[in-house]
Structure formats: structure tokens, C-alpha cells
Amino acid sequence: MTKRRRTTEVFTLSFLDCICCGFGAVILFYTIVSAQSGVVRISKTDNLTAEVNRLDEQVLTGSRNLAALRDTLEKTRNEIASAAAESNIVTAELADRRMRVSTYDAASLARRTHIEKLKADIRALQEGTKRLEAGGDERAPTGQDVSSFRKTGGDRRYITGLRMHGRRILILLDVSASMLHEDIVSVLRLRNSDDAQKRAAAKWRRAVETVHWLLTQVPPGSAYQIYTFNTKAQPLLPDLGGKWIPGADLPQLARGLQALEMIVPADGTSLYNAFAATKTLTPLPDQIVLITDGLPTQGKSAGSRKYVDSAARMRFFDEAVGQLPDRVPIDSVLLPMQGDSEAAHRFWRLARLSDGTLLMPAKDWP
């Protein structure tokens, strides 16, 4: 009897169970890993959400603080505006008080001048009495009898340092804004005032009186010319520019004094243009009298710089001196100006080199 062959099966139940278990384990592993990563992701998301919430809180707090700061800034601006208004009021009151003080000073100067005049009249009467008693006949000094210094009289002989001796005398008068006052702050204040106040400024009145005094000292037979200068130089009487005026011509003298009263000081100072104008006269002057208050603030033309330091002003002065004609004495009347310490030395040196005179007058002169 033939044996029946037994058939062998590859995929048995046991093998399928192993495969299913293996797949189940893999799926379980991936499930565990995915769950763990989800937990980590949720944890990170929670942290980021907390950070975002914290930043939002900071932004909200900053916005509130910014609003408070804006309110404070607006309040500060209002306080600044109020303080500026009060400062303007105080400044105006201070300017008004300074103007009153200047007026009082002018009145006091007028009183002192009147007293000096009375004293001079007494001395003149005493001297006249002595001459009459002695029977002498004294002639008035040269240059004293052309015209009177003031309509009310006045002593004109108490200054001997400055002598008018030329045959052709050129008077250069500084009409820049600095001639309004010796203090730069007061100059800036007066520069913004009306023309009447500028003409009445004490320092400018001294300059005008100085010119008047000089004209009374012109020797008989001599001629004169007056040029004013700030940034430019021009004759006081334009129709007589470049010509010499006889000292005995009283109508022209009256015209000159009247024109002098109408001048309003303004702008900067160019000594270069003033000295260059001396060469436009024919013949040239043989004596120059300069009335100013300090070193120039520009050269031939205005520079690009708004502020000029002391070194630049000295350089402008040296350049201006080069425009003067040779061998002509320069007599300088230097009025006071605060902050210009080099001016006196430079003008003294100019007087020494030109055989001239430097006069720094007292406050009650002339």
C-alpha cells in the first residue's frame, strides 16, 4: 500500500500571528512616539503663548506710559510757552528801565555840561577882567573863532592832545551799529528800536558832538571834508564828495551839521573802505581824524562767516591800514566798546607810526 505524501504549508497560523504581533508593535511604537512629540509640542506652544501674553502685557503697559508721557510733554510745552511769554515781558520791562536810565544819564550829562559851561564862563570873565586891567589885547587861539561849538557856548579849549593843524583835514566818522552803545547787548536792543531812539543814544550823541567840536577847531584858511562809513564809505554831503570844503564856509558847515543829525547808525564796520576813500580826494588830505569805537568787523566786503573773532578783526585792521596814503598823520578818537581789548593797542600803534594822536576821551567829552 502506497504511503500518502504529507503536504507542507509555508504560511501557518503561528507565522501569521508573529507577523501581526510585529506590525502591532511597530504601530504601538509609532503611536507612543507621536504621543510624546505631541506632548512636547503642546508644552512649547504653552510656553510661547505665555511669552506672547507677557509681551502683550508689556506693550499695553508701555502704551499707557506713553500716553502719560505725551500728556506730560504737552504740559511741559505749555509751561515753556508761558515762561517764554513771561521772559519777553520781563525783557521788555528791563529794556524800558535801561532806556529810562539812559535818559537819566543824558539829563545828568546835560546838567554837568551846563555846570562846566558856567564855570568856563566865570573863568572867561575873570580872564577878560584881568586882560582889561592889564590893558592887554590877546587874540583868540587859531581855530577857535570860526564858529561856536554849541549855541549856548561852552569851553572848547580844555583838550590839547588833539590839534587840528592840517590844510586839508579829512574827518572819518564811524556810523556802524556799534556806535549806539558800548555794551553789545544794548547795541542789539537799540538796533531793533526806532530811528529816533537810535539818534538819541548817548554814545552816538558823543560822536556827533565830537565832529561838531572838531569843526570848530579847523584853522582859518584850511579846508575839511567829512566821510561816514559802516560797510561802505560815503561823503556826509553827497554833492560835495571828493571836494574840499573851506573851513570859513558857514552855510556848508550848517548843512553838514544838519545832515549829521539825520544819520542813523547801522550795519557793520569796514575800515578798509573808509581808508580807501581817502585816496578819492584831490589833492590828498594832510591830516586824517578818525572817530570810531573799535576794530573793524569786515574787510573790503562782507565775508561768509556770521561771527568774526578777534584775530580776524585784527587782520581786517592791518589790511585797512595798507589803504592809507603815505606820510599822513592819523588822529584817532576811540570811543569805548566792551570786549574789544586789542583796539587800543592797534590804534595807538597806528598813531605812533603815522606821527598822529590817539585820544580815548572821558565820558563827559566833548
DSSP string, 166-199: -SEEEEEEE-SGGGG-SSHHHHHHHHTS-HHHHH
Widest pairwise Cα distance in the chain: 204
Query: What is the number of residues in the chain?
Result: 366
Distance separating alpha carbons of residues 340 and 309, to the nearest angstrom: 10
Residue type, 91: T
pLDDT at 62: 85
CA distances to 102, 110, 291 from 191, rounded to whole Å, are 15, 24, 20
Distance separating alpha carbons of residues 46 and 307, to the nearest angstrom: 67
pLDDT truncated to tens, each residue of the chain (366 aa)? Answer: 555 566 655 555 677 778 888 888 888 888 888 777 776 777 778 788 888 888 888 888 888 888 888 889 988 998 898 888 888 898 888 888 888 887 777 778 888 888 888 888 788 777 766 666 554 444 444 444 445 555 544 444 444 578 888 999 999 999 999 999 998 889 989 888 999 999 999 999 999 999 999 998 899 999 999 999 999 999 999 999 989 999 999 999 999 999 999 999 999 999 999 999 999 998 999 999 999 999 999 988 877 666 788 889 999 999 999 999 999 999 999 999 988 888 999 999 999 999 999 998 877 776
pLDDT at 199: 93
Distance separating alpha carbons of residues 210 and 5, to the nearest angstrom: 157
Give yes or no for a contact between 287 and 169, defined as CB atoms under 8 angstroms apart: yes
pLDDT at 144: 45
pLDDT at 315: 93
* DSSP 8-state symbol, 150: S
Q: Where are the domains of the chain?
A: 22-138, 141-359
CA 184 to chain centre: 7
pLDDT at 134: 58
CB atoms within 10 A of CB 110: 10
Cell numbers placing 358: 590817539
pLDDT at 345: 92
Distance separating alpha carbons of residues 329 and 351, to the nearest angstrom: 7
Tell which residue, 213, 261, 222, 259, has the closest CA to residue 239: 259
Thinking of the domain 141-359, which architecture would CATH place it in? 3-Layer(aba) Sandwich (3.40)
pLDDT at 17: 76
Distance separating alpha carbons of residues 358 and 342, to the nearest angstrom: 14
Cell numbers placing 123: 573863568
- Given phi > 0 = left and psi -120 to 50 = alpha, else beta, which region is 195? alpha
Residue type, 11: F
pLDDT at 276: 94
